[in-house]
Structure 1
């Protein structure tokens, strides 16, 4: 068979309509048949686990919630004929504007200034034919007009409560991005050209990959975002030298080897989120926060959470604090002899750390001398789009589903996180993998993103109810180990980092939570989002950060008073730590006479969901 490269040589000069014509009808028909066959395998991979009772669909509740939310939105616009007519008129007017532009274009007039354009940063319509070809230009403008009109319906609907409006905004965005013409072969000029140029071979490859990814997800689509074969933990990811020095049923404690002759007297304990794996902080030597901290003279200990299964179903926040943070503190004390540490928590790891600090304050446990909270919410009043999935009905349904297995499947949270940035994390890969038939490029951060973890049922239920649903931690109603918690009891210095484009822990939410602590708080705002804004080594010189905004009522006022600085926040944080206690002692070597349980990154992190 002639390959696509041969075809490119055969017709190098094709332009215009010739690019949208079948080259070899017989070969094209054969490949369509092969693509249908591969699609059948994909359907079988999806249906087989359900027929055998191994997989049950869990989308019923979210879909029902979406329908209910859209019903509330529709009710507002159709309950008043004048409002309904107004909405229809706005949409019709937009379409008429597109039609008028098309007429001017046919006449040879310049219609560029009046054309509907994508928003800045929208990379979906970069192919030249989205502008040059009248048909695809019409599709693009019609889509943009409709999507913006739908978004305006949400914003202009009166009487919606904040939760319903947030849900409507989120669901409208999901539907709009799913229906973009860039996601379909016949409405995407680049896809259509590639399909004709390869005589449909891209579809054969794409359907084969689809079948493989559904099989890998055991009946659910495990979207391939990176070439996973190019990475291996301990070989080119999570390679900072260290040892597992303690282990229990819930965690491994890793101590990293020193890189300086002297180290800060206070060791550094890192509490990562259990929703993802800790090696986001140790992706590769160039972007590893852990390696950088070691090189600055910190004796770094990290908690590596187990990837839970049915055995861990009853472990809630009490156990995660006792067997996680408190076990780590005990381990550090035994190995270093130090009575105080600096602690750092990231995302939900920071939320648990804050709750633990409130408990330790009541117990007069002063082993944590300072706390750093990265992209951490303790007040969930203005929580991000994940709150869409955390109303009472959905949490109740999730509780019932988790009790059956004792845990929440890792794919559930992975899908939720991807949906927050569907335009970047879902649809480009659907198009690239299953329509273009191309393997994704190797990317360490997306390898980590796909390396999902399960959630222990009791732990996740506590988190959703006490934080997202009832905001008990902020309101002083949450309990840990039988004691009611008050964040105002925490008097140790706090370094609190928010990131300006965070959709998971919005900066406004983090800023509000910073007001709840009883001691000094150093609030810092970093550029970019939840991951890139945190994992931002100084060597990259990216994003920038803001400091010194002082005590302000709102985040906007704080930013107006803050000082902007270029590059990473890491050196500023290290200076803050040294300002608390600059004392240094001889580097703590890993004593080989004491029992080690393995090399970093340990065994728990390698368990796949």
Structure 2
């Protein structure tokens, strides 16, 4: 049973909320053959034992790598020579230390690898351990580099798996090889190890019981985070629609609808007061609405991508149209929310629905041929394995997604954190972004399977094979102006992949490239020290420019790209009207919940 909040009716245009669109039928599908059910149950058990990682996928890429290397004697000789050169470099460093001479380290860790940042790693004995590890890492990177006959994707996956194995045996992970741990143990008399053991016990209990850690003091949702004044004006089984209270005397006629990804809680866009994107745009004189997705459970396993479009974005547009009638809407999609918004906008264009004033896509991909390191986890074997895993429980749970994202930067996100907590006894310092990052959600089985297969694996959206209601949609049908944002160090939605919206669209499009990564680049409020961006406009009819050429032709600008988006939206909006002329909202008795709603606490 769904419920909705009914706003006061306008004197000039009656505001009537639509009935929420029905969710998928729960009627049982045709029963599978018992033998097929047995097979799937067996595969689901194996998937649980491996944490959703397909051993067949791992075996196949290693077999392909080994066979191609075996038939490449020149490559083998090259690797032998590289091993000799690397060993020689480490040997020269060891000899220099033995003679008491200064010598430059031949190998350096990656910029995001902080395992060897402590100054003691430059002391002679520890420096040799560090350099031996980095030399081994360098050799394996060369050994697993692409070679003729091996698919580049398979080479990348072998390299990734090697990196995971090497990270596990890094000398920084062992107390008797890590000088920082030795120094701290001597300084505290071993108290750091006792405190680290306590932290490890807490983490182990939380992992086994799958409990959610309460937010630390000063980071409570609705009080410290997600604290911009709001009203929940609509709720169905899939989302709540939040309307933010105006903070200016006048507002622009066209409201903004934010569509976050359903893989995240919406308050990434309304964190603390100083970095809330919502608060910023409310203070710029916009009426802002936000979708707060429900965290699905096993009973929602059959929710599909189409359900998220119809019962999510389209339902929200219908509600906003009733609350603020006779005006177009600025739509803003973040991450997967942006991908879904692009699908919705292309469908609306095909069907002659012109309710969108502008479209903003933040770190959102529409083409997945260059989707970055997440492609390391996607092939037919792995997708089938994940489908069996989800068939068993009805959704992809938080631990599986957390491990996937963390493993991409295992050096820093897994091992550096583990050393700090369990050997140095340093608890994680709470931050607003860190608290949000730990507040993860689930993904319903059907939707996630459609997403992995239809978008990631088969790339249907830009290949002209993505159908909505039985008819193919095309991004080039969109004529609404777009503002597309990429982030420089994004490993979830690489900026060159995000940039490809310019390739598959013909509308007036502004592209902004901001510093930092997938989340930090979006949270780039005015006054944030060290932030910069590049920006350029592609008018309708202009020729395509490749991303690297675009990058070279657009200078870096210090500051926040939020101001550019605000100016762009203001230019696409009508004259300001008194904020009091907007229809007020009220909550019906059956919907009486305090802001910021129910679903954000699921």
TM-score interval w.r.t. the shorter chain? 0.7 to 0.9
CA distance in 2, matches of 1:523, 1:397: 37
CA distances 1:44-83 after superposition (whole Å, capped 9, x unpaired): xxxxxxxxx9x94343634553344333333333444553
**C-alpha contact (below 8 Å) 1:548/1:563 kept by paired residues:** no
CA distance in 2, matches of 1:419, 1:229: 29
Paired position in structure 2 for 1:116:
107
Paired position in structure 1 for 2:120:
129
Paired position in structure 2 for 1:369:
357
CA distance in 1, matches of 2:60, 2:246: 56
CA distances 1:443-475 after superposition (whole Å, capped 9, x unpaired): 111111111100011111111111100000111
Paired position in structure 1 for 2:200:
210
Paired position in structure 1 for 2:476:
488
Partner SS, residue 307 of structure 1: coil
Paired position in structure 2 for 1:440:
428
CA distances 1:236-263 after superposition (whole Å, capped 9, x unpaired): 1110110111000000000000010111
**Is 2:253 the counterpart of 1:265?**
yes
Paired position in structure 2 for 1:187:
177
- The Cα of 1:87 is off from its aligned counterpart by 1.3
Relative contact order, CA 8 A, sep 6+: which one is greater?
2
Structure 1 87/71 Cα, relative in aligned 2: closer, same or farther at 3 Å?
A: same
CA distance in 2, matches of 1:458, 1:120: 38
Paired position in structure 1 for 2:593:
598
Structure 1 413/425 Cα, relative in aligned 2: closer, same or farther at 3 Å?
A: same
Q: 295, 304, 325: which one pairs with 1:307? A: 295
**C-alpha contact (below 8 Å) 1:213/1:221 kept by paired residues:** no
CA distance in 1, matches of 2:587, 2:175: 61
CA distance in 1, matches of 2:393, 2:226: 30
**Is 2:166 the counterpart of 1:176?**
yes
- Within a 5 Å distance, the mapping from 1:223-238 to structure 2 comes to 228=216, 230-238=218-226
Return 304-313 or 333-342, whichever deviates more.
333-342
CA distance in 2, matches of 1:571, 1:330: 29
CA distance in 2, matches of 1:211, 1:303: 37
- The Cα of 1:599 is off from its aligned counterpart by 3.3
Q: How many residues align?
A: 550
- The Cα of 1:304 is off from its aligned counterpart by 0.3
CA distance in 1, matches of 2:586, 2:168: 58
Paired position in structure 2 for 1:337:
325
Return 526-535 or 560-569, whichever deviates more.
560-569
CA distances 1:77-104 after superposition (whole Å, capped 9, x unpaired): 3444553343133213312321222122
Paired position in structure 2 for 1:580:
572
Paired position in structure 1 for 2:141:
151
- The Cα of 1:200 is off from its aligned counterpart by 3.6
Return 78-87 or 553-562, whichever deviates more.
78-87
Paired position in structure 1 for 2:75:
83
**C-alpha contact (below 8 Å) 1:543/1:566 kept by paired residues:** yes
Structure 1 214/122 Cα, relative in aligned 2: closer, same or farther at 3 Å?
A: closer
Paired position in structure 2 for 1:554:
546
Paired position in structure 1 for 2:98:
106
- The Cα of 1:494 is off from its aligned counterpart by 1.0
Return 65-74 or 491-500, whichever deviates more.
65-74
Structure 1 585/81 Cα, relative in aligned 2: closer, same or farther at 3 Å?
A: same
Structure 1 446/469 Cα, relative in aligned 2: closer, same or farther at 3 Å?
A: same
CA distance in 2, matches of 1:383, 1:114: 34
CA distances 1:479-523 after superposition (whole Å, capped 9, x unpaired): 223332111111111111111211111111111233212321111
- The Cα of 1:227 is off from its aligned counterpart by 7.6
TM-score by length of 1: 0.85
CA distance in 2, matches of 1:529, 1:194: 32
**C-alpha contact (below 8 Å) 1:545/1:565 kept by paired residues:** yes
**C-alpha contact (below 8 Å) 1:313/1:457 kept by paired residues:** yes
**C-alpha contact (below 8 Å) 1:495/1:524 kept by paired residues:** yes
CA distance in 2, matches of 1:324, 1:185: 50
CA distance in 2, matches of 1:439, 1:255: 37
**Is 2:240 the counterpart of 1:245?**
no
**Is 2:81 the counterpart of 1:93?**
no
CA distance in 2, matches of 1:540, 1:137: 36
Partner SS, residue 234 of structure 1: coil
CA distance in 2, matches of 1:256, 1:156: 51
**C-alpha contact (below 8 Å) 1:151/1:169 kept by paired residues:** yes
CA distance in 2, matches of 1:483, 1:339: 28
Structure 1 145/538 Cα, relative in aligned 2: closer, same or farther at 3 Å?
A: same
CA distance in 2, matches of 1:511, 1:193: 47
CA distances 1:153-190 after superposition (whole Å, capped 9, x unpaired): 22253332121122123223333333322122111101
Paired position in structure 2 for 1:163:
153
**C-alpha contact (below 8 Å) 2:54/2:381 kept by paired residues:** no
CA distances 1:508-553 after superposition (whole Å, capped 9, x unpaired): 1111233212321111211111111111001214321111264443
Partner SS, residue 217 of structure 1: helix
Q: 229, 243, 254: which one pairs with 1:255? A: 243
- The Cα of 1:563 is off from its aligned counterpart by 3.8
**C-alpha contact (below 8 Å) 2:112/2:412 kept by paired residues:** no
- Within a 5 Å distance, the mapping from 1:354-433 to structure 2 comes to 354-433=342-421
TM-score by length of 2: 0.86
- The Cα of 1:592 is off from its aligned counterpart by 5.5
**Is 2:562 the counterpart of 1:567?**
no
Structure 1 594/203 Cα, relative in aligned 2: closer, same or farther at 3 Å?
A: closer
**C-alpha contact (below 8 Å) 1:549/1:561 kept by paired residues:** no
For structure 1, the 5+ residue unaligned runs are 1-52
Return 581-590 or 295-304, whichever deviates more.
581-590
CA distance in 2, matches of 1:242, 1:69: 51
Partner SS, residue 382 of structure 1: coil
Structure 1 136/593 Cα, relative in aligned 2: closer, same or farther at 3 Å?
A: closer
